[in-house]
Amino acid sequence: MVYNSGRTDNFSEIIYKNPPQNLTFEFVDDATTFQRGELGLSRSYLKGRLNFGRKINVSLIEFTLKGLEETHHVPFSGRIKNNYSGSYKLTEKSIKFPIERKELLEFYDFEFPLNSNLSSSFLIADREKNVNGKIYYVFRVTISEQNSGFFNTPQKESCEIFCPLSQVLPYFTTLYKNVEGKHMVSNDELLEYSFQIPEYFGLGTVISVPIQVTFLETKVKIVRIEISLKEITTYTFENCDESVKTEKRCCRFFEEPQRISNSNLEQKLTLKVPENLNISYCGTYIQIEYKLCIKFTLVGGGINIGNGDFYKEQTVIVAKINSPNNSDDSGYSNYLSNLDNLNNSDKCSNDVTTEAGHPQEE
């Protein structure tokens, strides 16, 4: 049993927000997470067991999932220390389960449906700039225990846990974007380029980038090719007009150019995407963006190393993508239809539906 208000990103153990008294949560079906299904793609829900710690007469169980996007920044300027923060409620959804059975219960197996526009949990920070941001979800249960006393007043007890969620896209045929143009130095055209860049980068996968280069200045040569992935995170705050932007190089690979034929170079660049990156995200106070960077080190034609090198950036989407055996292309259409809702829609859902004898959502 673990309780720690500072940890929200562990998927293999149950993290309690506060030390529990009697109520505890439990994974079921040999799972190490409560989440079932793919957010925004299929029916997704939380599934688990609530243990009461003793036999009791329960009349009502209410589950609430609350999601928050938060930023925090403490800049230091001389002796003045300021605190800047931002907080946005992504969702708050409650469902009540009336218990009609009169026998004493020791546990309750639950299924809690999730909204389709929820993002993955994450924690991202930059120590040098003393800034951090996170998305996290808190799952709370409140039970009403029926007393047998004179006034018959129900007693209530609550328990809260951090509930990490993960958005996984289905496997789909890779989509490429053609990026082309000319590279000029001092108004001289040196080369034409055409890159086929994948729009989506799956975590832990190897991406391939076919390139074509036509040399307009035959004396110019490429001596080294560099391909890399850069993460750019922007933090904003409620009580500060300024934003904080951080950049870091996630991965990098160097290649030698292949043989040039008739002033043309055709080559396929590859790059391994790390598994531990955050996915692309555009929210109210946090934006995580990735750029694929391609650099040619050029010599010849009056160009010295480092002076006149070619450099190009292209925005790409980093996501967690299922393996081909676990998904199919049909799910990708559903993902595209929900993409706008995921990052740009009104993220606070408080719909109320009530049916007699069924779970009551609030």
The pLDDT score that the predictor gives to residue 350 is: 34
176-323: CATH topology is Immunoglobulin-like (2.60.40)
357: left (phi over 0), alpha (psi -120 to 50) or beta: left
Confidence class of residue 355 from pLDDT cuts 50, 70 and 90?
A: very low
The pLDDT score that the predictor gives to residue 151 is: 57
Distance between CA atoms of residues 36 and 55, nearest Å:
28
CA torsion 25→26→29→32, rounded to 10°?
Answer: 100
Most confident region among 12-16, 122-126, 215-219 by mean pLDDT: 122-126
The pLDDT score that the predictor gives to residue 146 is: 78
> What predicted TM-score, i.e. pTM, was given to this entire model?
0.80
Contact 180, 251 (CB under 8 A): no
Closest listed residue to residue 114, CA positions, set 281, 342, 343, 358: 342
What backbone phi and psi angles, to 5 degrees, belong to 158?
-125, 160
For CATH 2.60.40.640, the residue range(s) in the chain are 176-323
Closest listed residue to residue 211, CA positions, set 152, 146, 266, 130: 266
Confidence class of residue 298 from pLDDT cuts 50, 70 and 90?
A: very high
Confidence class of residue 358 from pLDDT cuts 50, 70 and 90?
A: very low
- Model confidence pLDDT, tens digit, residues 136-154: 999 999 999 876 655 566 7
Distance between CA atoms of residues 347 and 342, nearest Å:
8
2-167 maps to which CATH number?
A: 2.60.40
- Model confidence pLDDT, tens digit, residues 180-228: 999 988 888 999 999 999 999 999 999 999 999 999 988 899 999 999 9
